[in-house]
Amino acid sequence: MVKIFLDPGHGGSDPGAVGNGIQEKDITLAIATRIKNLLAKYNVEVKMSRTSDTFPSLSDRTNAANAWGATFFMSVHVNSGGGTGFETFVYPGSGAPTTTYQNLIHAEIMKLLDFNDRGKKQSNLHVLRESNMPAILTENGFIDNATDAAKLKNGAYLDKIAQGHVNGLVKAFGLTLKNIAVSEEEAADNKLYRVTTGTFKDVDSQKQAIKNLLTLFKNAYPYDTNGLRAITGTFVGKASAETAAAKIKAKFGYLTYIKAE
């Protein structure tokens, strides 16, 4: 499985850039945490260099990613120094696939943000140089620019920044969504549920419906209590009965009823 190492820049004793009442270390953690949460619905493993206000050294960060065998290293930063906007960095001289990832991720982030696009760049930075896997560093706005800082103070804007990073990762690594999670309660539900469909206006449409249902399920048979209906079978657990009912609705538009046996 793809393993993404997320590195929120700075932390603890190292605030990073500061300006307009905010600190880079807090913004990078806020963005990276959002990225991690958004990635939870994909088939991907995620590890963070820090999950709170601590300061792992730069070597700690790259050592952790290397030891873990990360597929990709993503470092999240906020800029300062009098500019405005968004830029990304890879290690100088990087070729594909690193530059391909940079192109995809940079483009997906810029699609969602109204930051000035400062472009795709290269720089000899520790985390890009010492990581054994392709790596990117994103610089998300300038903390000392009032307009950029106002965006970084806005949680909804941080959501967008994170979503852009995730959309880029999904494209770059072809991440697929996990199957819908089943709660423990649902998993422990081993009761039997019957899915009934109908009612149908006459026997012919009931017969046709049964034919249709048999394209989706092994069992389907007439059930003529309270009108012309069909039973598509018995399912273990309410969740699987609901999934079956949703399939029937989506494919044929029939009304469905779920009943415990």
Q: To the nearest whole angstrom, how small is the minimum distance from the Cβ of residue 125 to Zn ion?
A: 9
Cα(56)–Cα(9) distance, integer angstroms: 10
Q: Which is nearer to Zn ion, 76 or 248 (CB)?
A: 76
Cα(121)–Cα(219) distance, integer angstroms: 60
Q: Is the dihedral of CA 96, 102, 105, 108 positive or negative?
A: negative
Q: To the nearest whole angstrom, how small is the minimum distance from the Cβ of residue 25 to Zn ion?
A: 8
Catalytic position from the list 45, 139, 184, 261 = 139
Cα(84)–Cα(93) distance, integer angstroms: 26
Q: Which is nearer to Zn ion, 81 or 119 (CB)?
A: 81
Environment class of 227 (CB within 10 Å of its CB; exposed 0-12, middle 13-18, buried 19+): exposed
The SS3 call for residue 120 is: strand
* Site string (66-105) toward Zn ion, x via CB under 5 A: -----------x----------------------------
Q: To the nearest whole angstrom, how small is the minimum distance from the Cβ of residue 79 to Zn ion?
A: 7
Query: Is 139 marked active-site?
Result: yes
Cα(53)–Cα(15) distance, integer angstroms: 9
Q: Which range binds Zn ion by CB under 5 A, 4-12, 68-76, 86-94, 146-154?
A: 4-12
Q: Which is nearer to Zn ion, 125 or 213 (CB)?
A: 125
Q: Which is nearer to Zn ion, 125 or 231 (CB)?
A: 125
Contact 76, 28 (CB under 8 A): yes
* Site string (7-26) toward Zn ion, x via CB under 5 A: --x------x----------
Please tell me whether residue 34 binds Zn ion under the rule CB under 5 A: no
Q: To the nearest whole angstrom, how small is the minimum distance from the Cβ of residue 110 to Zn ion?
A: 19
**Strand locations in the chain, DSSP E?**
3-8, 18-19, 22-23, 45-48, 72-79, 86-90, 117-122, 135-142, 192-200, 221-223, 228-236, 256-260
Which residues form the catalytic set?
A: 139
Q: Which residues bind Zn ion (CB under 5 A)?
A: 9, 16, 77
